[in-house]
Chains A and B, each alone.
Chain A
Amino acid sequence: MNDPANILEMRSMTKTFGGVRATDNVSFEVKDRAITALIGPNGAGKTTVFNLMTNVFPADEGDVIFLGKSIRGIPPMAVAGLGLIRTFQSARVFPGLTVLENVLVGRHRLVKHSGGSQLLWTRGSRGEERELRERALAMLDLVGLSQFRNIHAVDLPMGGQKMLEVVRALMSRPRLLCLDEPAAGLNDTETAELAILLQAVRAAGIAILVVEHNMSLVMNIADHIVVLDAGSVIAAGAPAAVQVDEKVIEAYLGREENAAA
Chain B
Amino acid sequence: MAEFIQISIGGLLVGTIYALIALGFSLIYRVTGMINLAQGGFAILGALVGYSFSQSLGLPLPIALVGAVLVTTAAGTLLGALTFVPGLKKLSNANVLMLTVGMLTLIEGFLLVIWGSQPYSVPAYTGEEPINFHGILIPTQTFWIVGTAVAIILCLWLLLAHTTLGRALRACAENSGAAMLMGINVRRMTIFSFALATMIAAIAGVVVAPTTTFQFDTGRLFTISGFIAVVIGGIASFPGAIVGGLMLGLVTQLATAYVSSLFSNAIALIILLFILIYAPTGLIPSRIVRRQDVREEPRAWGHITRLSPTVAWSAAALALCGMLLLPLLVTGTIISSLTIAAIIFIALIGLDLLMGYTGQVSLGQAGFMAIGGYTAGYLTINYSVEPLIGIVAGVLISLICALVLSIVTLRLRGLYLALATLAFGLLIDSCAVGFIDITGGPSGMVGIPPFSVGSLYFDTPLSMYYLVIGVNVVVIFLLFGALRSNFGRALQSIRTDQMAASALGINIVRYKLVAFVASAGLASLSGSLLAFSFNFLSPDMVGTNRSLELVSMLVIGGEGTLVGPAFGSILITLLPTIFQPLALYKTMFSGGLLIICFLYLPRGIYGLIAALLSRISPRTDGNTERSEGLVQGASR
Partners in one complex: yes
B557 to chain A, nearest CB (A): 17
A55 smallest CB distance to B (angstroms): 10
List of A residues within 8 angstroms of B497 by Cβ? 92, 94-95
Q: With contacts A118-B487, A125-B485, A146-B626 known, is A108 near B632, CB below 8 A?
A: no
Given A76-B503, A77-B506, A135-B636, does the pair A96, B622 have CB atoms closer than 8 Å? Answer: no
B313 at interface by CB-CB < 8 Å: no
- A115 contacts B514, C-beta separation under 8 Å: yes
CA distance A137 to B505 in the complex (A): 21
**Complex alpha-carbon distance, A111 and B507, angstroms:** 13
A152's nearest neighbour on chain B, judged by CB, is: B304
Q: Considering the complex, which residues of chain B in the window 405-441 have a beta carbon less than 8 Å from any beta carbon of chain A?
A: none
Q: Are A105 and B493 in contact (CB under 8 A)?
A: yes
Within 8 A of A (CB), among B560-583: 560
A247 to B2, CA, bound (A): 81
B495–A77 touching, CB < 8 Å: no
* Contact flags B388-418 to A (C-beta < 8 A → 1, else 0): 0000000000000000000000000000000
A36 close to B (CB within 8 Å) = no
Q: Is the CB–CB distance between A98 and B304 below 8 Å?
A: yes
Q: Which of A98, A118, A134, A135 interacts with B481 by CB under 8 Å?
A: A118
Q: Are A108 and B481 in contact (CB-based, < 8 A)?
A: no
Contact with A along B480-524 (1 / 0, CB 8 A): 011011110110110111011111111110000010000000000
Decide if B298 is an interface residue (CB 8 Å cutoff).
Answer: yes
> In whole angstroms, how far apart are the Cα atoms of A120 and B300 in the complex?
32
CB pair B486 A86 closer than 8 Å:
no
Is B481 touching A104 in the complex (CB atoms < 8 A)?
A: no
Q: Is A80 an interface residue (CB 8 A)?
A: yes
Q: How far is the CB of B95 from chain A (nearest CB, A)?
A: 12
Is B630 in contact with chain A by the CB < 8 A criterion? yes
User: In the complex, which of the residues A95, A137, A141, A169 has the most CB atoms of chain B within 10 Å of its own CB atom?
Assistant: A95
The minimal Cβ–Cβ distance linking B483 to chain A, given in whole angstroms, is 8
With both beta carbons as reference points, the residue of chain B lying nearest to A92 in the complex is identified as: B500
Q: Which of B486, B493, B625 contacts A115 (CB 8 A)?
A: B486
Within 8 A of B (CB), among A130-184: 132, 134-135, 137-142, 146-147, 150, 152, 154, 168-169, 172
Q: Which of B271-302 contact A (CB under 8 A)?
A: 295-296, 298, 300-301
Cα–Cα distance between A111 and B506 once the two chains are bound (Å): 11
Q: Which of B478, B479, B505, B636 contacts A77 (CB 8 A)?
A: B505
* A residues in contact with B303, CB < 8 Å: 152
Contacts of B507 in A (CB 8 A): 77
A81 within 8 A of partner (CB): yes
Q: B489 and A105: CB pair below 8 A?
A: yes
In the bound complex, CA of A85 to CA of B496 (Å): 19
State which of B489, B495, B630 has its C-beta within 8 Å of the C-beta of A108: B489
A137 touches B629 (CB 8 A): yes
Q: Cα distance A125–B481 when bound, in Å?
A: 9
Interface residue A119 (Cβ < 8 Å from any Cβ of B): yes
Question: Which of B295, B490, B492 is most buried by chain A, counting CB atoms within 10 A of its CB?
Answer: B492
Is the C-beta of A129 less than 8 angstroms from some C-beta in chain B? yes
A202 is an interface residue with CB less than 8 A from chain B: no
Q: For A146, what are the chain B residues with a Cβ–Cβ distance below 8 Å?
A: 626, 629-630
The CA of A81 and the CA of B501, in the complex, are separated in Å by: 12
The answer, yes or no, to whether A106 is at the interface (CB within 8 Å) is: yes
Query: Which of B479, B492, B626, B630 interacts with A97 by CB under 8 Å?
Result: B492
Q: With an 8 A cutoff between CB atoms, is B633 at the interface?
A: yes
B503 CB to closest chain A CB (Å) equals 5
Task: Give chain A interface residues in 89-128, CB to chain B under 8 Å.
Answer: 92, 94-98, 101, 104-109, 111, 113, 115, 118-121, 125
**Measured between alpha carbons, how far is A99 from B112 in the docked complex, in Å?**
47
Question: How far is A230 from B22 in the complex, measured between Cα atoms in Å?
Answer: 46
| A-B pairs with beta carbons under 8 Å apart, 10 shown | A76-B503, A88-B503, A97-B492, A107-B486, A109-B504, A115-B482, A119-B478, A134-B633, A139-B633, A147-B626
What are the 7 tightest A-B residue pairs by CB atom distance, in nearest-first order? A138-B633, A109-B505, A80-B505, A137-B629, A95-B298, A115-B487, A92-B500
List the interface of chain B (C-beta within 8 A of A): 295-296, 298, 300-301, 303-304, 306, 477-479, 481-482, 484-487, 489-490, 492-493, 495-497, 499-508, 514, 560, 622, 625-626, 629-630, 632-634, 636
Apart from the given pairs A96-B492, A105-B489, 15 other A-B contacts in the complex at a CB distance below 8 Å: A75-B502, A76-B503, A77-B506, A77-B508, A80-B505, A88-B503, A95-B497, A101-B489, A101-B492, A108-B506, A135-B633, A147-B622, A150-B622, A152-B303, A172-B504
